[in-house]
Amino acid sequence: MVRLLYQLILGLFLHRDAVLKIGPGRKDQLTLQQCCSNVFISGMIGSGKTTGICSNLAVGLYGHPSRPGGLILCQKPDEAARHIAYMRQTGRLADLIHVKPGGRWRINLLDSEMSARGGGVESAKALLGVIMEAANRNRQRTSSDSYWPESSERQMGYAMALLQMAGLVVGFQEVLEFCQSLPNSPEQFKDPKWRQSSPAAKIVLAASMNRSETRAFKMAWEWFSTEWPELSEKTRSIIQSVTLNTLDKLLSNRFADLITGDTTFTAEKALRDGKLVIFDVPGAVFGPPAQWAAVAVKLLFQRAAMRRSLKEPCRPFIFYTDEAANFCVPELDAMFLSQSRQFKCICVNVIQNIPLAVTALGSSEAARHQVQAWMSNHATVIGCANSDTETNKLLSNFAGEVTEVTFGGSSGTSQPFDIVSDFLGQPQGNISASWNQVFRPALPPDAFVSLSKGGKSRKVEAYVFQSGRRFSNGNTFIKAQFRQRF
């Protein structure tokens, strides 16, 4: 009943495919199809972006007749409650999957990726690599430092392969136990007591009974029996410490049961059935490991979306991230954003400003280029009130430039110009005039400083940019106004 009433009210003002009104004109609307080319929103603290633009956009997307699914990643502790309120308003509570500590919903990330269509050990190993990259992005590294995470990733890859060949469930806990019980020397590998007590030895034995003739097992066996035990103690201990530190940080938090062990929902089912998944493990509460887990969950859903068959109709799916730079993997996200429209995925990324995004990605010059490339993959850009000059200048560049003619002149006499004398033909001295054509920003950067931020008026202003489109004002940008939702 709530959903029918919402759609009736929405239908009085918007086109059937529209999700957001952004201007006074009849066609000044943002449609679901346009959202599939991705939406980028920026605004300073207190600009009203969350309660103004983001809330209205979320309500419009959740209430769309196509009933899109979605993945919402949380950085702040109150974010899940807001989105649940939007779902209640649009009649979508029945589609909610609320993943939170102590809840019923959980997903074994490694096992899900290994058992997915098109997945496997290499795919799951890459998932671990993304977690390690997110964990180390703010550390100073040299060119040789990549050896250690790559070797650790390889170690965990062989662990996952042998666990799978042994017919066991593959999770972070199982990989940790395998790696902890590896032989430390060729002598220990040959020791019968070690073979009887080591979980790793028992797993390899079970795998050999099932897959001993396969190439995958022979490669894993060579690494397990020869390469690993014969490494120097220093090299082996560094690789082992990288592996154990990564897994320990994921497993020692209260949210560990949400990403390992039993699986109660899958990304494929959420995409197919239009489920709205809230991964409610806020980084502000649980720290960096929560962000790493959220990054892995996002990548899992991105891969599931790209594995969907395009021969059949696909239900739209929303990737919604506030404080989005904390969940960004530049190379993978850039690739996904460039293809998301084809797979009917809607990426809504919200940040405060460019410098904060650069800091989240490592504070390097490369990080600055990554942020700009990431931002440029959004066809719709919305800028709220902002005091950051770099962000405002970049948004101003989206509006382009306009030409303006300027005039100037001078007089060669000390006497003031007399229009009556000039009319009567009396000399006025030497007078010169000049004019020039100059280019100026169509939207000056300081325009974002004075935008309304809500409050008592409950009205939030923002400039909306959309490539390849002219709004009712004749420009490729328009000043929009949104009512706050608390």
129 within a domain of the structure (yes/no): yes
295 within a domain of the structure (yes/no): no
33 within a domain of the structure (yes/no): yes
256 within a domain of the structure (yes/no): no
Helix, strand, coil distribution of the chain in percent, nearest 5: 50, 15, 35
Q: Are strands 401-411 and 431-441 parallel, antiparallel or unpaired?
A: antiparallel
258 within a domain of the structure (yes/no): no
Q: Identify whether residues 204 and 231 lie together within a single domain.
A: yes
Q: Identify whether residues 324 and 470 lie together within a single domain.
A: yes
Q: Identify whether residues 463 and 354 lie together within a single domain.
A: yes
381 within a domain of the structure (yes/no): yes
Q: Identify whether residues 421 and 352 lie together within a single domain.
A: no
Task: State the Cα angle at 267 between 263 and 273, rounded to 5°.
Answer: 110
pLDDT in tens, 205-215: 999 998 888 99
- Three-state secondary-structure class, residue 441: strand
Each as own residue / partner, the long-range contacts of residues 221-224 (CB below 8 Å, 24 or more positions apart, any chain) are: 223/154, 223/158, 224/158, 224/162, 224/182, 224/200
Q: Identify whether residues 120 and 209 lie together within a single domain.
A: yes
90 within a domain of the structure (yes/no): yes
Which residues of the chain are under the pLDDT cut of 70? 1-15, 138-145, 407-435
Q: Identify whether residues 123 and 158 lie together within a single domain.
A: yes
Q: Identify whether residues 99 and 113 lie together within a single domain.
A: no
Q: Are strands 380-383 and 459-466 parallel, antiparallel or unpaired?
A: antiparallel
Q: Say what the pLDDT of residue 155 is.
A: 95
Looking at the 3D structure of the chain, how many domains does it have? 3
Tell me if 41 sits within 8 A of 54, measured CB to CB. Answer: yes
265 within a domain of the structure (yes/no): no
Q: Identify whether residues 382 and 429 lie together within a single domain.
A: no
Looking at 251, 276, 294, the residue that finishes a domain is 251
Domain harbouring 352, CATH code: 3.40.50
Taking phi over 0 as left and psi of -120 to 50 as alpha, with beta for the rest, 456 belongs to alpha
Q: Say what the pLDDT of residue 29 is.
A: 93
Q: The pTM is what?
A: 0.88
- Three-state secondary-structure class, residue 302: helix
Q: Say what the pLDDT of residue 424 is.
A: 66
Q: Which residues of 236-266 are buried (b: 16+ CB within 10 A; e: fewer)?
A: bebbbebbeebbebbbebebbbbbbbebebb
Q: Identify whether residues 65 and 13 lie together within a single domain.
A: yes
Q: Say what the pLDDT of residue 423 is.
A: 59
Secondary structure E strands in 416-458: 431-441
- Residues 376 and 257: their CA atoms lie apart, in Å, by 37
- Residues 292 and 283: their CA atoms lie apart, in Å, by 9
Q: Which of 282, 304, 303, 284 is nearest to 293 (CA)?
A: 282
Q: Identify whether residues 344 and 433 lie together within a single domain.
A: no
- 421 is in which domain, residue-wise? 405-441
Q: Identify whether residues 425 and 464 lie together within a single domain.
A: no
pLDDT in tens, 119-153: 889 999 989 988 888 877 766 555 556 788 899 99
The two tokens of residue 466 are 């959309």
Q: Which of 335, 276, 308, 341 is nearest to 32 (CA)?
A: 341
Tell me if 169 sits within 8 A of 111, measured CB to CB. Answer: yes
Tell me if 277 sits within 8 A of 270, measured CB to CB. Answer: yes
Q: Say what the pLDDT of residue 411 is.
A: 61
- DSSP element (H, E) containing 483: strand 477-483
Q: Say what the pLDDT of residue 12 is.
A: 44
Q: Identify whether residues 420 and 464 lie together within a single domain.
A: no
Q: Say what the pLDDT of residue 43 is.
A: 94
